[in-house]
A and B are shown apart, each in its own frame.
Chain A
Amino acid sequence: MTASGRTSVLLLRLAAPLQSWGDRSTFNRRETRPEPTKSGVVGLLAAAAGRSRHAALDDLAGLALGIRIDQPGSLLRDYHTVSDHRGQPLLSAAVSARGLQKPTSPAKHTHITQRFYLQDAVFLAAVEGPAELITTLEHAVRHPAFPLALGRRSCVPAQPLLLGQRTGPLQDALRAEPWQASPSVRKRWGRQNGNATRIDLPATLDDPAGDDIRDDVPLSFAPTRRTYTTRRTSHTYLSAPTGLTPDPTRPPSTGGHDPFALLGW
């Protein structure tokens, strides 16, 4: 990664009643990706570190990111109408000679906007980089300079957000970390799967040889010139410990019915 070569992994548990991770939304329809974006995670770290919107991001954007989906959550559509409380028409994009926005003509009084959120989702984000930088970031997330949010300002993270620092490769850190789903989800899954000790969770990893391309690496968060570039990712499944105690009377099964259990092995 760097000249010193010593890398470290920071684990963040991204869980909240609502999260929203947009990567291409503009205007009135604000969508969310099914999993956190790199710009969202980098933005969270930059906010924690107290960087201004104009500050350089090269070091943060250069960190390797891996996201494990512990609980996919469900999609929520929030239907909004926006209008001026004084009853005046909304402003158009056109600008007058004085540099002020002109009112819409014909007058338009209401915008309809849709914002999409993930509700009840839990993700495990692993950020890998030089050990010194990761230690600084860990301290920053513990003592954030600005309020932290999961993708959008209104989406406040649930505790615990920081799971700590790990050594070793990012993928191993994601594999070793126990399943972070909520107790009720784990209990229901355990009932159906005989409290198996491990579960396969989908994960997206930064991978220069990967097949997928995501356009969510921030170059600048400056309000007037926000720019992003692309990264390559690969999608895989990682086996993680569930933290459940297996039931000795129930055989570990493939969904309840395993014909191979009677064939002598």
Chain B
Amino acid sequence: MPYLSRIRINPLRAESRTLLAGPRALHAAVQGGIPGLPAEERTLWRLDADNPHRPHLFVLTTDKPDWTHLVEQAGWPDADGEHYAVRDYTPLLQQLATGRNFAFRLTANPVQNTSRPDKPTPRQQQRIEAGERRSFRLGHRTAAAQLNWFLTRTDRWGFDIPTAPHLDDTHDTDGEPPRDVRITTRQRRAFGKGSLSTKEAQVVMNAVTFEGRLRITDPALLTERLLNGIGPSKAYGCGLLTLAPLPERA
């Protein structure tokens, strides 16, 4: 039974600085709140800093988590109000039906796999010459490519993006009406993994936040994506798709 949690983070505390600065540290902190064995369940999380003074951490877990340690280290332990909220996710899953519209938000790492990169790095060249069959994972770096990555995959995830009603009179570069989705943040993050100083131990990812409206085409597929995440870098805050009621347009 999945659970969605929301934890408020106090950005003024020393521990929070570590957590907000590094996806690795936040991943470890999130895993620390889950009693099960790490390999046995898929944990998805996302940091929402709409208000940078009040960041919120959303976590989707299979088992019921406990976030006391995060509140003690990076929250307001003695303050009023709700330190964290944990709610059963099934009411949402039951609401999914073909044709329904929701507001969504997704932070993902758009990548493509190719065995023949345009400009291979020396290391990639070395591997190609060595005859390794495995292709290379390359990140999409421009906003256009990242948006295209998202829009071409939505069918596989069980939903599609309707055209934006408030942009009726406009069209994009292909002459088509624009879809109701936008990129709100794009962040390239690079950090070391483990104590090794080799290039292998360096993680480079592009965290892109998509926001907009979706229409469900296949509830089963969407449920699968909601629970298991979208795209790579799921340990580092990517892949959690959340749904919300549609805002009324003024």
A residues near B, CB below 8 A?
191, 200, 202, 235, 247, 249-251, 253-265
Contacts and interface: CB of A to CB of B under 8 A. Distances in A.
Q: Which 3 A-B pairs have the closest CB atoms?
A: A255-B50, A259-B242, A249-B248
A235 B92 CA distance: 39
A256 B50 contact: yes
Interface of B: 4, 6, 12, 48, 50-51, 53-54, 56, 58, 85, 87-89, 91-92, 95, 102-103, 105, 211, 242-245, 247-248, 250
Contacts, number: 61
Contacts of B211: 256-257
Given A256-B50, A257-B50, A257-B105, A263 B87 contact: yes
A258 B87 contact: no
Nearest to B92: A262
B88 A257 contact: no
A263 B6 contact: no
Contacts of B247: 250-251, 253, 256
Given A200-B54, A254-B50, A255-B48, A260 B248 contact: no
Nearest to B243: A262
A26 to B, nearest CB: 29
Contacts of A200: 54
Contacts of A262: 91-92, 95, 102, 243-245
A254 B56 contact: yes
B92 A257 contact: no
Contacts of A247: 248
A80 B107 CA distance: 47
Contacts of A251: 245, 247
A261 B89 contact: no
Contacts of A263: 4, 87-89, 91-92
B91 A260 contact: no
Nearest to B49: A255
A261 B248 CA distance: 14
A235 B12 CA distance: 10
Contacts of B54: 200
A255 B245 CA distance: 13
A254 B85 CA distance: 14
Nearest to B102: A262
B58 A259 contact: yes
